[in-house]
Structure 1
Amino acid sequence: MTYAADRIHAEIAYVAYHFHWSLEDILDLEHGDRRRYADEIAALVNRAAAEG
């Protein structure tokens, strides 16, 4: 199974933007770990937005 390049780039940009990690550090993550970080960031962003 392959993962769409656009989706990978979006995940990398999202994690890099919020965690300020380098591209190398993010690419070193397993896909599942990178996806989990992206999901956790989204939860934090949504919670912050809800709190105003």
Structure 2
Amino acid sequence: MTLYPEKELYREMSFISYYFHWGEKDVMELPHASRRRWCEEISSINSSLNPSESKPKEKSIFELGKSARRL
């Protein structure tokens, strides 16, 4: 049995909760695939709202995870 890393779980939960104002219970009840999909959708919305290169662009949760793993 493979467990999902706790740090990744909390990162996804925080990301969804922050942007959609969902509570912990609501986010925890989402299946893993749905949680990942919501993170992708939120990241896509951020990208479309911040297309300018001159403004600091918000990163996708998946980009944040990659840079954190390199540390």
Provide the TM-score with structure 2 as the length reference: 0.68
Look up the match of 1:12: 13
Look up the match of 1:22: 23
Find out whether 1:46 has 2:47 as its counterpart.
yes
Look up the match of 2:66: none
The structure having more radius of gyration, on CA atoms, is 2
Identity of aligned residues (%): 27
Deviation, structure 1 residue 45: 0.5
Task: Give the number of the structure whose residues are more often helix, by fraction.
Answer: 1
Provide the TM-score with structure 1 as the length reference: 0.91
AA at the equivalent of 2:14? A
Name the CA distance, whole Å, in 1 between partners of 2:4 and 2:51. 31
How many residues align? The count is 52
Greater relative contact order structure (CA < 8 Å, 6+ sep) = 1
AA at the equivalent of 2:10? H
Deviation, structure 1 residue 3: 1.2
Taking only aligned residues, the RMSD between alpha carbons, in angstroms, comes to 1.3
Dislocated runs of 4+, deviation >3 Å: none
